[in-house]
Amino acid sequence: MATETVNYYFTFGFNQGYDNGYVKITVPAGPAAYDEARTEMVRRHGTKWGFQYSEADFLPQLDKWPLWEVK
């Protein structure tokens, strides 16, 4: 049986090394998903990032801003 997942998106502020960049983190769905995604972002990039978004809040921004995915 496949596990349900949820995507969260994290953006960087200016002078944080990835101007207009974002990171997509996928975690198992559930009540702890928001915190698990945040913990993974800190593990990968420390605390030098700007904001955390749900997929519903983030995806419309791709049409409005010149954002690029940090790999």
What is the per-residue pLDDT across 46-65, written as a single tens digit (0 to 9) for each? 998 999 999 999 999 999 99
- Which pLDDT tens digit goes with each residue over 17-56? 899 999 999 999 999 999 999 999 999 999 989 999 999 9
Q: Grade residue 1 by pLDDT with cuts at 50, 70 and 90.
A: low
Separation between Cα atoms, residue 51 and residue 41, nearest integer Å: 11
3-state class (DSSP) for residue 54? strand
Number of domains in the chain: 1
Beta-bridge partner residues of 23: 10
Is the confidence at residue 8, as pLDDT, over 90? yes
Would you give the distance in Å from CA 4 to the centre of its chain? 18
- Domain hosting 10: range is 5-69
Q: What is the pLDDT of residue 16?
A: 81
CB atoms within 10 A of CB 29: 12
Give me 35's structure tokens: 């915190």
